Structure 1
Amino acid sequence: MKRSKARRLINDFEESARIAGEQLSEHKVRSLLTALGVIIGVWAVILIGVGMNGLDTGFKNSLSMLGDDHFYIEKFPWRDVGDDWRTYIRRPNFETRYAEEMNEIIDNTPNSGLLLAVPTVGFRRSISHADRSANNIQFTATTSDFGYVNTADLAAGRFFTPTEESSGQNVAILGSGVVKALFPDEEDEVLGKRVKIANIQFTVIGTLEEQGAFLGLQSFDNQAIIPLRTARKFFVGGRRWNGTSIRVVKKPETDRDLARDEIIGAMRRVRGLLPGEENDFEVNASDAVEDTIGPVKAGIAVAGFVITGLALFVGAIGIMNITFVSVKERTKEIGTRRAIGARRSSILTQFLMEAVSICLLGGLVGLLLAFISKAVLDHFAPNFPASFSIELMILAVSLSVTTGILSGFIPAWMASRLEPANALRHE
């Protein structure tokens, strides 16, 4: 009994699939237009999923570039300050000596949770070798201690020594993007080569491992590192530079919040702030980026789901209407099938299968458009870490089937409830 019932269900399914295929083949244009809402909905949800996956991947990679144990003491916060920008612009500029004073405090603090403070000065210049050049390169001027806090590993060579830094030697460590731009055919033979930074000769003593780009946009590889005293001699004078930052590294076992509190206390001493005075500096870290990117991701997700929901709703209404029309057009056919013994469940399955088939067609077209869109994105933004996943494809198919079932159930149910005699008399 159970076997015969299962066989009957399989036969109903096979016959419904055959009839649905015939209807799609007979009404190609109508079916495609009917599925337009599902196409847009699936296309949108796949692109949103790809974009969110790319944001998450790029975000995690970017946080590793900033360093989980690193803090950046700077004049401005890593967030939108809105109309309060005047407050921040009036803050005193940073001085590189702050790092030395911070290190004295760290060394004299029992059980300090901090390891080291290192000054950095950022500025942009062009760099060239022979007939090749790279413009708008981000330079970091720093001390020899930077080798202990740099988040990028050395690919080759070494960092500059305290002697080279204190004597202002013309030595440089190049990021992988600069190496590729200046030495495309000899990337493994860069050490010892001479490059020009704003027409001043420098010797390459090291190269950095490839890091990638933040969210596929701002490259971390188009950079170079030179000694602080050298930069002061040739490029930026004085001790107070707008691009000055103090990078502080905490001990691995130290809690992030405790480390931040210790940095704030030490920096207030360095700046000479009295009790009750507001901080005139900012302690930035990777969690500030998390707080900034979180609302962006949420906004993208909400907007995407609204667009997807509206598109699928419109598609469902269209499929429901076309299924009602199909039931009306084929009322006599339904009466004939019922008269020769077709069960109500067979009629219900038939029209549900037709609605689901239209939605699956829309889902497949939506997937195809999503693949094409990703190919275009890969071409124009090759560094953006966008990728498809099996989960996204399963989601697209599930949405298509669910939309088909929900939109086709009422007209399919009404078709299954038609009495054979009344259906056969229908004109």
Structure 2
Amino acid sequence: MKRSRIRRTLNDFEESARIAGEQLREHKVRSLLTALGVIIGVWAVILIGVGMNGLDTGFRNSLAMLGDDHFYIEKFPWRNVGDDWRKYIRRQNMESYYADEINEIISQTPNTGLVIAVPTIGFRRNMSYEDQTANGIQFTATTSDFSYISTADIAEGRFFTQTEASSGQNVVILGSGVMEALFPDEEIDQILGRRVKISRIKFTVIGVLESQGSFLGLQSFDNQAIVPLPTARKFFIGHRYWNGTSIRVVKQPEIDREEARDEIIGAMRRVRGLEAGEENDFDVNASDAVEDTIGPVKAGIAVAGFIITGLALFVGAIGIMNITFVSVKERTKEIGTRRAIGARRSSILTQFLMEAVSICLLGGLVGLLLAFGSKTILDHYAPNFPASLSFNLMILAVSLSVTTGILSGFIPAWMASRLEPANALRHE
């Protein structure tokens, strides 16, 4: 009994699928136009998903570059300050010797959660080697201690020593992007010892950093170079205060981030000589500030995507419901004939429901093809954007199309299954 019921259900399903296929072949253009809303909805949800995946990947890359255990003591915060920018611009500039004083405090503090503080100064210059040029390179001027906190490993060569840094020698460590621009046809180990020019001043290449990639294909982390701080002061930035000065502090892995931040604030207030009750005249930035910035962007993209997808699928569902009603109207006599010769109501329901789902599946497949095409174009014109089309995203798109078909086709299919044979046969 149970086996025969299962066989009957399978037969109904097979017959409904065959009729749905015939209807799609017979009304190709009508079916495609009806599925247009589903096509746009599936296309939109996949593109939004690809964009969100790329944003997340780029975001994780940027956090890796910043370092989860790194803090940046700077003049300005990493957030939109709005009309308060005047307050921040009037702050006293950072000085590189603050790092020495913070390290002294760290050494005198028992059970400290901090490891080391290192000064860095950022600036931009052009570089050249023979007839090759690299423009707008982001330089970091720092001390030999930077090798302990750098998030980028040395791929070849070495970091500069304390002697080289303190004596202000003309040595430089190149990012992989700078190396490729200046030495496009040479192996990485062949460029060590070469003399490159930074603003017409010769520097010896002593190391090359490993490739770090880029953020969303827009900002490369490899377009950088590192030089000793005294050398940079001698040739590029002078000995005055510099807006680009940052004190990077690394915490111990087992220490809570907020606990470490509070300790840094306390140490920096001592360095600046701030009295109790005085407002901080500096900011302690970290990767969580980037999270706070990127969060609303991701939320906005997600909301926009849901709205576009929802509207498209809603319009598609209305169209499919309408065309299914038309199909029921056109085939009322056929329904009456089938019911008269013994067709069950569930068979009629399954038939028209299958037709609605088939149209939505057609729309889903076309939407998938358009999404694949769009991703191919994106990969061609923005090869560094970390876009990825996951299997889960494709399953979600197909599930949405099937769900739309079921919801939009159920009412007309149910009404078709409730038709009385006598009334249906008399229908003109």
**What TM-score, normalized to structure 2?**
0.98
Tell me which residue corresponds to 1:51: 51
Tell me which residue corresponds to 1:236: 237
How many angstroms does 1:299 deviate by? 1.4
Match for 1:177: what amino acid? Answer: G
Tell me which residue corresponds to 1:213: 214
Match for 1:21: what amino acid? Answer: G
Q: What does residue range 50-69 of structure 1 map to in structure 2 within 5 Å?
A: 50-69=50-69
Structure 2 gaps of 5+ residues are none
Query: Per-residue CA shift, 1:86-127, capped at 9, x if unaligned?
Result: 111111111111111111111122222111111101001111
Tell me which residue corresponds to 1:187: 187
Q: Secondary structure at the match of 1:235?
A: helix
Tell me which residue corresponds to 2:6: 6
How many angstroms does 1:52 deviate by? 1.4
Match for 2:24: what amino acid? Answer: L
Match for 1:78: what amino acid? Answer: W
How many angstroms does 1:288 deviate by? 0.9
Q: Secondary structure at the match of 2:237?
A: coil
Match for 1:48: what amino acid? Answer: I
* CA–CA separation in structure 2 for the residues paired with 1:61 and 1:139: 20
Tell me which residue corresponds to 1:97: 97
* CA–CA separation in structure 1 for the residues paired with 2:84 and 2:378: 36
* CA–CA separation in structure 1 for the residues paired with 2:187 and 2:154: 14
Match for 1:282: what amino acid? Answer: D
How many angstroms does 1:212 deviate by? 1.0
Single out whichever of 337-346 and 32-41 deviates more from structure 2: 337-346
* CA–CA separation in structure 1 for the residues paired with 2:342 and 2:187: 78
* CA–CA separation in structure 2 for the residues paired with 1:301 and 1:187: 44
Structure 1 gaps of 5+ residues are none
2:118 matches 1:125: no
Tell me which residue corresponds to 2:35: 35
Query: Per-residue CA shift, 1:221-259, capped at 9, x if unaligned?
Result: 100000111111111112411111000111122221111
Please give the root-mean-square deviation of Cα atoms over the aligned residues, in Å: 1.0
Tell me which residue corresponds to 2:416: 415
Tell me which residue corresponds to 2:378: 377
How many angstroms does 1:292 deviate by? 1.2
Number of aligned residue pairs = 427
Q: What does residue range 22-421 of structure 1 map to in structure 2 within 5 Å?
A: 22-188=22-188, 189-421=190-422
Q: What does residue range 14-25 of structure 1 map to in structure 2 within 5 Å?
A: 14-25=14-25
Match for 1:264: what amino acid? Answer: I
* CA–CA separation in structure 2 for the residues paired with 1:93 and 1:142: 17
* CA–CA separation in structure 2 for the residues paired with 1:359 and 1:252: 52
Q: Secondary structure at the match of 1:79?
A: coil
Q: Secondary structure at the match of 1:134?
A: strand
Match for 2:246: what amino acid? Answer: S
Q: Secondary structure at the match of 1:184?
A: coil
Match for 2:48: what amino acid? Answer: I
How many angstroms does 1:380 deviate by? 2.0
* CA–CA separation in structure 2 for the residues paired with 1:405 and 1:258: 54
Tell me which residue corresponds to 2:427: 426
Match for 2:217: what amino acid? Answer: G
Match for 1:369: what amino acid? Answer: L
Single out whichever of 299-308 and 397-406 deviates more from structure 2: 299-308
Query: Per-residue CA shift, 1:378-407, capped at 9, x if unaligned?
Result: 122212211111111111111111000000
* CA–CA separation in structure 1 for the residues paired with 2:94 and 2:171: 25
Match for 1:123: what amino acid? Answer: F
Single out whichever of 398-407 and 51-60 deviates more from structure 2: 51-60
Match for 1:131: what amino acid? Answer: D
How many angstroms does 1:187 deviate by? 3.1
Query: Per-residue CA shift, 1:158-193, capped at 9, x if unaligned?
Result: 001111111111100000111111112113212111
How many angstroms does 1:275 deviate by? 1.2
How many angstroms does 1:360 deviate by? 0.3
**1:121/1:140 contact within 8 Å kept:** yes
**1:212/1:219 contact within 8 Å kept:** yes
**1:180/1:187 contact within 8 Å kept:** no
Match for 1:348: what amino acid? Answer: L
**1:156/1:206 contact within 8 Å kept:** yes
How many angstroms does 1:215 deviate by? 2.9
- Overall identity of the aligned pairs, in %: 84
Match for 1:334: what amino acid? Answer: I
* CA–CA separation in structure 1 for the residues paired with 2:378 and 2:84: 36
Q: Secondary structure at the match of 2:388?
A: coil
Query: Per-residue CA shift, 1:63-83, capped at 9, x if unaligned?
Result: 111111110000111111111
Q: Secondary structure at the match of 1:382?
A: coil
* CA–CA separation in structure 1 for the residues paired with 2:145 and 2:304: 46
Q: Secondary structure at the match of 1:115?
A: strand
* CA–CA separation in structure 1 for the residues paired with 2:63 and 2:242: 26
**1:96/1:239 contact within 8 Å kept:** no
Match for 1:297: what amino acid? Answer: K
How many angstroms does 1:421 deviate by? 1.3
How many angstroms does 1:300 deviate by? 1.1
How many angstroms does 1:308 deviate by? 0.8
Match for 1:9: what amino acid? Answer: T
Match for 2:315: what amino acid? Answer: V
**1:179/1:187 contact within 8 Å kept:** no
Match for 1:230: what amino acid? Answer: T
* CA–CA separation in structure 2 for the residues paired with 1:194 and 1:187: 16
Query: Per-residue CA shift, 1:34-55, capped at 9, x if unaligned?
Result: 1011011111111111111122
Match for 1:234: what amino acid? Answer: F
* CA–CA separation in structure 1 for the residues paired with 2:362 and 2:401: 9
